[in-house]
Amino acid sequence: MNQRAVPDEFDTVLHRALTDVGGAVHPDPGLADQLLANARSGRPVVASLATRRKAARWVLPLLAAASIVALSIGIAVVAGGRHHTPPLRQSTAPGPTGAPTTAAPTTGAPTTGAPTSAAPKPTALPHFRAGSVYFSDARHGWALGDARCGTGARTNCAALLATSDGGSSWRPLAVPKGLVSTLDPASCGTNGTVAGPCVDAVVFANPSDGYLWSLHELYWTTDGGRSWSRYVDHARQWTGASRLVVTDRAVVRIAPIAPCSAACPGVVETAPIGTTQWRSSMPTTRQVGLYTSNLAVADSKVYLFAGGTDANTGPGIYRSGDGARSWTLLARDACGASKDPQQDPFSGDGSTAADDGALVVTCAGSGSGSVRVAPPGSATFSPRRPYPPTGSIELKGARSEQHIVLADTADAYSGAHIRTTFYVTGDGGVHWRPTATLPVRGDGLQFTSGADGYAIGADRTELYTTHDGGTTWQATQFSG
């Protein structure tokens, strides 16, 4: 090409390049409808969209030579076929600002979600596998997972589905461009963006305002997932969260301060819903554990179960009624005092708030651990009540200090026979009763209340739903 494209021919090269690129660009199917609706409504489109923080930047003009060689080779291989080419990643690392320099994963439905109002008949994504589900109420839910990058593709890309009928049917939504598979263990978890930017959790405050996030990345939408913006914080290498919850008006997270894999401190931050205008909201001068803490929402209040770090034991349990702008200390040393951070029995990440505001605390100890409960408005805890002496118990939800749901997840994360056993109590943990053993995974298992629970099937193609605290479950396919 060097010999042919002499400077005098550059005009031809430029013309050809623009023709090639322009010819390869196709709008989303629902764009015309969206344009019409916005124009007719007189909506201040620019103002509303421009308020979003621009997440990306112009990629540097000259890419590394090796990247281009890889790009051209990859393109040559796939362009010979008649199916569309999934653009190759130009780098396995984020771009200069941390913004992914990759193109869209590919042509398939995962990247071409249309607005809900203009969506055609719901269609399933090929080979969709769920990694995380979130329901904001009994009808509206989202499933984050992966699917084939496009027709004929052999690789998987992040994909997002939404339901507005409780999971009976699902429709694809767009995802941010350049995301690797949600299930890629190299890039989700604490490893960093090894293969590329990755998100492994989804939360929506309402059908419009949602967040996709992992420890390293955070994206948000204000138009129901039609478009996404990436949160960029140049001061931090990891820009996501270990925990993130939403209320009607605020999004609250525990964010990493720096890359760290254990016993790390995090920072509690809050932002108005639909934004990423984070402001620090630390309830105490003591360190809050990044991985040892939990956030929960009950009755529009945010609860922080702050676990400890190497520097200090768990700072305590806090509640906020104003979207985490201020906190009230409810309890400290809920499992007993300890001077040694390594011996702190309080498990912040294993604790939660019941639907009525009762506190349900997990304490480490012999066996599977124990639970202590305190009624709403009180910080007077019950005696320790042991968990069922089996497996690996995780506290999953509670309707009150009496009605609590546990899951034995010893076989729920790996192995040939994925299964989870559920236990419930009606007397605050004095007695536990197994209710069901199901082929569902521990990851993605979520109780939005003490009654409503959602679990992902062993092969990630099914959703299991309960509305009676885990006693009975119904299975539906994500493929509809």
Partner 1 sequence: MSADAAFERFVREQTPTLYRTAFLLTGNRHDAEELLQDTLARLYPKWERVMAADKPIAYVQRCVANRAVSRSRAPETRAESRWELPDRWDGSDVGETVAVSRTVWQLLGTLPPKQRAALVLRYFHDLPEGDVAAALGCRPASVRSLVSRGTAAMRTTFFAAPAATQGSRS
Task: Give the residues across from 440 on adjacent strands.
Answer: 457
**Could you tell me which of 444, 445, 437, 443 has the C-alpha nearest to residue 419?**
437
Least distance in Å: CB of 227 to partner 1? 6
- Residue 93 in contact with partner 1, rule: CB under 8 A: no
Residue 205 Cα to chain centre, angstroms: 13
Between 18 and 258, name the residue whose CB sits nearer to partner 1.
18
Tell me, by CB under 8 A, how many residues bind partner 1. Answer: 77
- Residue 92 in contact with partner 1, rule: CB under 8 A: no
Q: According to CB under 8 A, which residues from 18 to 77 bind partner 1?
A: 18-28, 31-32, 34-36, 38-40, 42-43, 45-46, 49-51, 53-63, 65-66, 68-69, 71-73, 75-76
- Residue 430 in contact with partner 1, rule: CB under 8 A: no
Residue 35 Cα to chain centre, angstroms: 30
Task: Please list, in sequence order, all residues whose beta carbon lies within 8 angstroms of the beta carbon of residue 446, skipping any fewer than 6 positions away.
Answer: 133, 134, 135, 396, 453, 454, 455
Q: Which of 91, 109, 111, 250 binds partner 1 (CB under 8 A)?
A: 111
Quick one: 456 exposed, middle or buried, by C-beta within 10 A (0-12, 13-18, 19+)? buried
Q: Which of 91, 92, 93, 103 binds partner 1 (CB under 8 A)?
A: 103
Between 42 and 120, name the residue whose CB sits nearer to partner 1.
42
Q: According to CB under 8 A, which residues from 184 to 243 bind partner 1?
A: 227, 229
Longest C-alpha distance within the chain, in Å?
86
Least distance in Å: CB of 11 to partner 1? 7
Q: According to CB under 8 A, which residues from 147 to 186 bind partner 1?
A: 177
Least distance in Å: CB of 47 to partner 1? 8
Between 56 and 329, name the residue whose CB sits nearer to partner 1.
56
3-state secondary structure of 13: helix
Between 11 and 340, name the residue whose CB sits nearer to partner 1.
11
Q: Which of 2, 285, 342, 366 binds partner 1 (CB under 8 A)?
A: 2
On whether the CB atoms of residues 239 and 231 are closer than 8 A, the answer is yes
Least distance in Å: CB of 462 to partner 1? 30
- Residue 120 in contact with partner 1, rule: CB under 8 A: no
Q: According to CB under 8 A, which residues from 331 to 360 bind partner 1?
A: none
Q: Does an H or E element contain 75, and which?
A: helix 65-79
Q: Which long-range contacts (CB under 8 A, 24 or more apart) does 124-127 make?
A: 124/170, 124/478, 124/479, 124/480, 125/159, 125/161, 125/172, 126/151, 127/156
Between 10 and 413, name the residue whose CB sits nearer to partner 1.
10
Q: Which of 94, 98, 107, 388 binds partner 1 (CB under 8 A)?
A: 107
User: Ramachandran region of residue 332, left (φ > 0), alpha (ψ -120 to 50) or beta?
Assistant: beta
The tokens of 358 are what? 């009762």
